Structure formats: structure tokens, C-alpha cells
Chains A and B, each alone.
Chain A
């Protein structure tokens, strides 16, 4: 128990902070911070598996997150029948062509010796394939995008409950990670970082501009929910009773019946959005706990020991007969799949998919700050990092405002410096993240909760 004291202390402080936000700001804000903390925690767990367990740098987190989000759209949106009949065949045909190209390239790779001619043949196959696909898909894509462009203009999805997309998101992201891993894992650490960063940009470019698949920058809104809608809740009998019971103390103070009814209505409206957020928190918490148990088990298993051996000394591990390349690929796929789950969870919570909002600063670098600050190699640390950093990221603006007011207290309210500083309060979060990261890297390079491996 004693050795876990710092873990428990850190988590209690974190929960205390969130509860303070609930008391001083509102429970709505506290819960939305908590939910995004949980999603960030899933992302950091994914990154931590790759970086902490195996020492692989993945700066493509944004791409995997977006793919998870795409999965949420493709699973939950109802299929657009008209679009399918307008251009579905062309799209399916192009899909077959893509598979055909991959198979042909594989065949050439296996069949012929490494040579210049082989490279030329592969290039020829790919180029001619791309031309054929463009010729086939172009009319289809145009037809699909013309189907009711203001509301659909895309193929839609499968129309399944959105919760399935969390699994599908994992598979999407894992699949992409497999391809990237095959291509890029041989690179040295910092090149891998750059390569994955750029590949994730390519993924975002595709998601942004292939309107037939994702509606692109027109966004997909009104996705299904795994939780009840506020409006429905506000009319449900048992929920109103529940709210009444919770607030009976406050309500009994009001004597006038009409006023009391108005107050109750207010409580119901507030309560409904808190209740919905609590539903999400419950779902997310289940995911986080399941992942935590699995990753902890993996960390202490023989496999986890092997991964650390590979991380700490690749050559020695190789000499001991461990297949470094295969294990790297495996862990890259696993970590990315977890990030994919987080991406699907994020879109599920927001209820909308906005490809334009995926930016490397928020979805790659911030996640990395979380991993480094929390403690790489330690799952509890990674989750804590997600919580701390996201909490600061949201609360940086109020803190910044407070600091600005404090330091410029001597100035008049209309002084240009004060006005300018108050206007730029939103950017204090960048400053905070940067300085926090630099301080942690310098004085506590292993993070708040450092990696601790006991041999049992």
C-alpha cells in the first residue's frame, strides 16, 4: 500500500480539483472536463504503449484519432440509398481495383528479384492503377456528391448503434498503423516522428477532401447517441421525480407553488445535461478501466518484459532471438488501435464529425505533452498526465485571466497593455503547456509518476 501512496495522492488531488471546478464553476463544466480527461487518458495510454513500452515515437496520433472518428460516422449514420444507387457501383469497382493493385504489387515483389526493372514495373502498375481508378470513380463521386448536397452528398454508413464504432475505430486505426509500420518502422527515432507526423497529415487531407466518404469540411452532424437526449429526459416522469428528490431540500424552502414549479423546471434542465454527461462518463470509465487492466497485465507479462528489453537494448534483444521488427509492428498497431478507440469516443461524445478540427497541435503534440508529463512507461502516469494536462488546457484561460488581473492591478482598465493582455488570455495555455513540458523534461524527466518495474 505504501509504495502506491504517491499514485493515490496524485489521483486524489486531481479528482479534488475537478470537484472544486464543479463547486465553484458548475457541475456541467466539471463533467465535460472529466469526460475529455477520460478520452485523453485513452489516447495517452495508446501513445504510452508505443513510447513507454517500446520506445517508438508516433507523432501520427492525430491521424489515428481522425480515423476513429471516421469509424463513428461510417458505423452509425444511416446509409443514403440514393447515393448508393447513384454511384455505389463505381466506388465498389474502384475498391476492387485498389485491392487488385495491392495484390499485383505483392505478386511482383514476391516473384522477382530486387532490381531496377522490378521498381519500374511496380511504379507502372501503381500509376496505371491510379489512372484507371480515377476514370472509374470520378463519375461515381460526382453523382454521389450531387445527391442532396445540403444534407447528405455522401454514401452514409451502416446505421448501426454508434457504440460499435469504438471497436471499428480500433480496427481502422490498427489497419492504418499496420501499413505505416510496414513502411516506416525501420527508420531511426526522430525520422519516424517526422514520417508519422506527415503521414497523419495525408490522412487528414484525404478525410477533409473526399466528400463522398466523409462529407469533408461540410461536417457530419447529429450522430446517434448511446445516451438519452436531454429533451426526452426533461419529459420523463422518473427523471423529474429523481431531480425533485435530489433537490427536495431547496425546493421545500420555496412556498409559492408556481415559483416552485419554475425552480423545479430549472433543476430538471440542468439535471438532464448533467445526467447525459454522467452516462458518457460511465461508458468512458468502463473503457478506461478495461484498457488499464489489459495494459497492466501486458506490462507485467513475459511479453511486457520482452518489450522493455527491446526498448532498452534492441541489439541484445535481437541476439536473444526476439523478433524486434515483428514486435515493433505489433505494438505500433496495438497502440494506434487504442488511439482509434479514443477518436471514436470523442466523436461519439460530441455527436458531430468535423474533419477541419483535426490539428496536430491539439491531437498530436498535446497528447505527447500528456505522456511526458504523466510519466512514460507507467500506465497510471499516462492516465494522470491526460487528466492534468487536459485540466490545465481548459482552465488555463481563467488562471491566465486571474494572473493578468493580478499583475496589471496597478494599471487602469483602459490601459492598452492590459486590454491587449486580456485579449490574448486564450494563448496562455500554449505558454503553460510549453513551460510545463520544459520544466518536467528538465527536473523530472521520467514524469510525475515515473516508471517503476518490480520483478516479482
Chain B
């Protein structure tokens, strides 16, 4: 019984939250890695692009809510996502046309493009803050919990409850659908293959008749899908605040590099590596050991490897270690 309690405890506090957080990071990391692999620059506007997409989704959610349109037990924001993606894609294409295109055609070094993306970051941040303001916004509606802790306790008769938020389930389900479609697209369709070819060797791809304009447009559209969905999922699960989204760029970068930048599958797993290690290392295991160990050996302290204040620092330290020992990432991305 005690061991079962211990397992539920870990599931409740580590596994489920980490899985949801990891999915959100993974989507962002695939976004970073796609831009890096195909357009060849580190996009410092990642977090702010995600917040732009989320902002549009929130505006549509409010509009639908004011019309009395809801999805019942599901959050209304899911209905707003397709419209938000449309706006996000439009925004990205406009930015590409007026900003990035010039440097791409001039074959500027990646560093210059990264600098330009900082300019885009500033502009996007301003646009988001001017339109929706800098404050914290919750836009979740519908059923909050799939399983409540109390219900679970009554159902199983265990001491520990397992609470599963519906946003966590939505996050995981949407991530699975999105990522598997993306990988199918990249690996099976002709366009996807040509994108991979372009990422691998630009000149060779151009020689074999791949249209770079088409590749770039499609990349931005996929990026818009990823940015919007990733942003909305994070906002549903936690809350929407432009500053948090900007900061999320950092663990997302860490996930992309840990997984091997330029490698979408690596980025996907990298998200989970970062999320799990953040939560594993900062969880206080006292209660867990109370269940597992006999009473005489119960620990006095919290048995916490690192205080939760260092949550971000954990992922960055992992990144530094990976950069030191395996600079191309765990799953062999581009060589740095």
C-alpha cells in the first residue's frame, strides 16, 4: 500500500506536471529548431512570437465568449486556435518579407540574422503589450479537473490523491497529434522531404529544383502553427503574461540545443529532458521517503537536491554540460 502511495505521489507531483510542461517546451523547441535548420538563425523572438499568437487566440476567445459560443467542458481557446494561427502566419510572413528576406538573399552570416531577430523581438513585444497590456491574464474556461484529488482518494482508498487537470491532458493529447503529424509531414510528403533536403544542403537542394520561396513560406506557416499552439497550451495550463513568455525562450533554447539543434526529433525529446530534470532535481522527496522507508529511517530534512528557486538554473546547467561534452546535442544535430 505504501509503495502504491509513493508511486501516486510521484505521478501527481513529478510525472504529470513534467509531462505537460515538457510538451509545451517541446513544441517551442521544435519551432526554434525548424527556424534554425531551414532559415539558419537563432530566433531570439521565439518567446514573443509565441506570446503574439497566444494574444490573438485570447482576443478571439473573448469574442467567442461574448457571443456565447463555448465548447462545453473544453476551453473555448481551442476554437480560437485556427484563427490565431492564421493571424500569426500572416504576421510572420510580413516580418519575413520586410525584415528577414533581405538578409537571407544577401547571405548574411547567422549572427547578423540573430541580431535582426532581436529587433523583431522588441517590436513584437511592443505590439503585444500595446494591444493587450503587460498584466497576467487567465483565459481558461470549461471543466478544470479531469480527476480531482479527493475523488481519486475515495475511488482507490489511498492516502495520496492524484489530480489531473484537463489542461494537462489537452496539452499532452494536442502535442502527440501535432508532433506526429509534423513528423509524418517531414518524412513522408514531398514538400516535407524537400524541406529536409534544403536544411541539409541548400545548394544541392536548389540544384535539384526545390523552390526556396516555397520552402521558406511553408516553414513560417509551420512555425506559426507551432508557436500559436505551444503558446496557447502554456497559457491555458498556467496563465498568459508577455514577460513570462519572453523568459520561456530560455528553457526552450536549452531544450532545442540539448536535443541537437536542427533536429526536430531531438528538440521534441529535449523538451522532456529539460522539464523532467527541472522538476526531478527541485522536488522535495521527504514524503516519498516517508512512504518507502521504514518508520525508523524517516528523514528529517526535505531531501531536496536543489531549492525550487533554481528551477531555471537546472536546465541551463544541463545545457552547459551538454555543450561541453556533446556540443552537437544528445541526438546529433548540426555540429557547432
Which residues of A pack against B, CB within 8 Å?
57, 119, 183-184, 186-191, 193-195, 197-199, 201-202, 205-206, 208-209, 361, 365, 368-369, 372, 421, 423-424, 427-431, 433-435, 437-438, 441-442, 445
Question: Residue A434 contacts which of B121, B134, B253, B312 (CB distance < 8 angstroms)?
Answer: B121
A437 touching B118, Cβ below 8 Å: yes
The 4 nearest A-B residue pairs measured at CB: A434-B122, A434-B123, A430-B126, A431-B126
Is B254 an interface position by the 8 A CB rule?
A: yes
B319 touching A198, Cβ below 8 Å: yes
> Roughly how many angstroms separate A201 CA and B327 CA in the complex, as a whole number?
20
Is B42 an interface position by the 8 A CB rule?
A: yes
A187 touching B336, Cβ below 8 Å: yes
The number of residues on chain B lying at the interface, defined by a beta carbon within 8 Å of a beta carbon of chain A, is 45
Chain A contacts of B127 at CB under 8 A?
Answer: 431
Chain A contacts of B116 at CB under 8 A?
Answer: 437-438, 441
A424 touching B129, Cβ below 8 Å: yes
> Roughly how many angstroms separate A291 CA and B258 CA in the complex, as a whole number?
39
Q: Find the B residue at minimum CB distance from A210.
A: B309
Smallest distance from the beta carbon of A420 to chain B beta carbons, Å? 8
> Roughly how many angstroms separate A442 CA and B103 CA in the complex, as a whole number?
9
Say what secondary structure dominates the interface of chain B: helix
Is B250 an interface position by the 8 A CB rule?
A: yes
B130 touching A428, Cβ below 8 Å: yes
Smallest distance from the beta carbon of B20 to chain A beta carbons, Å? 23
What are 17 A-B pairs with beta-carbon distances under 8 A? A183-B320, A191-B336, A198-B254, A198-B316, A198-B320, A199-B320, A205-B309, A205-B312, A369-B118, A427-B134, A430-B125, A430-B126, A431-B126, A433-B119, A433-B122, A434-B119, A438-B120
Chain B contacts of A188 at CB under 8 A?
Answer: 336
Smallest distance from the beta carbon of B281 to chain A beta carbons, Å? 11
> Roughly how many angstroms separate A365 CA and B323 CA in the complex, as a whole number?
23
A193 touching B99, Cβ below 8 Å: no
CB-CB contacts below 8 Å: B291-336 with A: 307, 309-310, 312-313, 316-317, 319-320, 323-325, 327, 336
A183-B118 contact in complex given A190-B42, A198-B319, C-beta closer than 8 Å: no
Which residues of B pack against A, CB within 8 Å?
41-42, 44, 99, 102, 109-112, 114-116, 118-127, 129-130, 133-134, 246, 250, 253-254, 257, 307, 309-310, 312-313, 316-317, 319-320, 323-325, 327, 336
> Roughly how many angstroms separate A197 CA and B310 CA in the complex, as a whole number?
16
Q: Find the B residue at minimum CB distance from A127.
A: B305
Q: Which of B118, B254, B312 has the most C-beta atoms of chain A within 10 angstroms of its own C-beta?
A: B118
Chain A contacts of B253 at CB under 8 A?
Answer: 194, 197-198
Chain B contacts of A201 at CB under 8 A?
Answer: 250, 312-313, 316
A190 touching B118, Cβ below 8 Å: no
Chain B contacts of A202 at CB under 8 A?
Answer: 312-313, 316-317
Chain A contacts of B125 at CB under 8 A?
Answer: 361, 427, 430, 434
Q: Find the B residue at minimum CB distance from A55.
A: B111
Chain B contacts of A441 at CB under 8 A?
Answer: 112, 115-116, 119
> Roughly how many angstroms separate A119 CA and B250 CA in the complex, as a whole number?
27
> Roughly how many angstroms separate A433 CA and B122 CA in the complex, as a whole number?
7
> Roughly how many angstroms separate A184 CA and B259 CA in the complex, as a whole number?
18
A368 touching B319, Cβ below 8 Å: no
Given contacts A195-B323, A202-B317, A431-B123, 18 further A-B pairs with CB under 8 A are A57-B114, A187-B323, A189-B109, A193-B42, A198-B250, A198-B319, A209-B310, A361-B246, A365-B122, A429-B126, A430-B122, A430-B123, A433-B119, A434-B123, A434-B126, A435-B119, A441-B112, A441-B115
> Roughly how many angstroms separate A197 CA and B42 CA in the complex, as a whole number?
13
Chain A contacts of B41 at CB under 8 A?
Answer: 190
Chain A contacts of B257 at CB under 8 A?
Answer: 191, 194
A190-B320 contact in complex given A424-B133, A431-B123, C-beta closer than 8 Å: no
> Roughly how many angstroms separate A427 CA and B132 CA in the complex, as a whole number?
11
Chain A contacts of B112 at CB under 8 A?
Answer: 441, 445
Smallest distance from the beta carbon of A220 to chain B beta carbons, Å? 18
Chain B contacts of A365 at CB under 8 A?
Answer: 44, 118, 121-122
Q: Find the B residue at minimum CB distance from A433.
A: B122
A189 touching B122, Cβ below 8 Å: no
> Roughly how many angstroms separate A361 CA and B126 CA in the complex, as a whole number?
12
> Roughly how many angstroms separate A194 CA and B250 CA in the complex, as a whole number?
8
Chain B contacts of A195 at CB under 8 A?
Answer: 319-320, 323
Chain A contacts of B307 at CB under 8 A?
Answer: 209
> Roughly how many angstroms separate A430 CA and B116 CA in the complex, as a whole number?
14
> Roughly how many angstroms separate A431 CA and B129 CA in the complex, as a whole number?
10
Smallest distance from the beta carbon of A177 to chain B beta carbons, Å? 15
> Roughly how many angstroms separate A197 CA and B253 CA in the complex, as a whole number?
10
Chain A contacts of B124 at CB under 8 A?
Answer: 434
Chain B contacts of A368 at CB under 8 A?
Answer: 115, 118
Q: Find the B residue at minimum CB distance from A206.
A: B313
Smallest distance from the beta carbon of A148 to chain B beta carbons, Å? 22
Smallest distance from the beta carbon of B46 to chain A beta carbons, Å? 11
A190-B114 contact in complex given A202-B313, A209-B310, C-beta closer than 8 Å: yes
A431 touching B122, Cβ below 8 Å: yes
Smallest distance from the beta carbon of B100 to chain A beta carbons, Å? 10
> Roughly how many angstroms separate A424 CA and B125 CA in the complex, as a whole number?
12
A194-B119 contact in complex given A201-B313, A434-B126, C-beta closer than 8 Å: no
Question: Residue B309 contacts which of A190, A209, A435 (CB distance < 8 angstroms)?
Answer: A209
Question: Residue A189 contacts which of B110, B316, B319 (CB distance < 8 angstroms)?
Answer: B110
B336 touching A427, Cβ below 8 Å: no
Q: Which of B124, B307, B323, B325 has the most C-beta atoms of chain A within 10 angstroms of its own C-beta?
A: B323
Q: Find the A residue at minimum CB distance from B40.
A: A190
Q: Which of A198, A428, A442 has the most C-beta atoms of chain B within 10 angstroms of its own C-beta?
A: A198
A427 touching B126, Cβ below 8 Å: yes
Q: Find the A residue at minimum CB distance from B256.
A: A194
Q: Find the B residue at minimum CB distance from A123.
A: B321
A427-B130 contact in complex given A191-B257, A438-B116, A438-B119, C-beta closer than 8 Å: yes
Question: Residue A205 contacts which of B102, B121, B123, B313 (CB distance < 8 angstroms)?
Answer: B313
> Roughly how many angstroms separate A57 CA and B310 CA in the complex, as a whole number?
26
A183-B324 contact in complex given A194-B42, A427-B129, A435-B123, C-beta closer than 8 Å: yes
Chain B contacts of A187 at CB under 8 A?
Answer: 323, 327, 336
A428 touching B120, Cβ below 8 Å: no
Question: Residue B102 contacts which of A184, A199, A442 (CB distance < 8 angstroms)?
Answer: A442
Q: Find the A residue at minimum CB distance from B324.
A: A183
Chain B contacts of A421 at CB under 8 A?
Answer: 130
Chain A contacts of B102 at CB under 8 A?
Answer: 442
